[in-house]
Amino acid sequence: MRTIAFITGNAHKVMEASEILSGSGIRLRQMDLELEEPQADDVCDVAMACALRGASMLRRPVLVEDSGLFVSALGGFPGPYSS
């Protein structure tokens, strides 16, 4: 079984992702690292930067999840800046 570090402080996210991956031969291990998130207009850019930084720090494969709140009436604002 392959283990991938899931960088998050949210244990519920790890449980949910583990359920999705059950039977795939992939096990997730929660790692709560304080990664500085870059300011970007796209959540994919934020997640990619954090994944690269985390993989470099841990020297192993990692999974990072990032999301935003996109309100249509506000033209997508606040988007990735919601936190």
Catalytic residues: 66
Query: Helix/strand/coil (H, E, C) string of the chain?
Result: CEEEEEECCCHHHHHHHHHHHCCCCEEEEEECCCCCCCCCCCHHHHHHHHHHHHHHHHCCCEEECCCCEECHHHCCCEECCCC
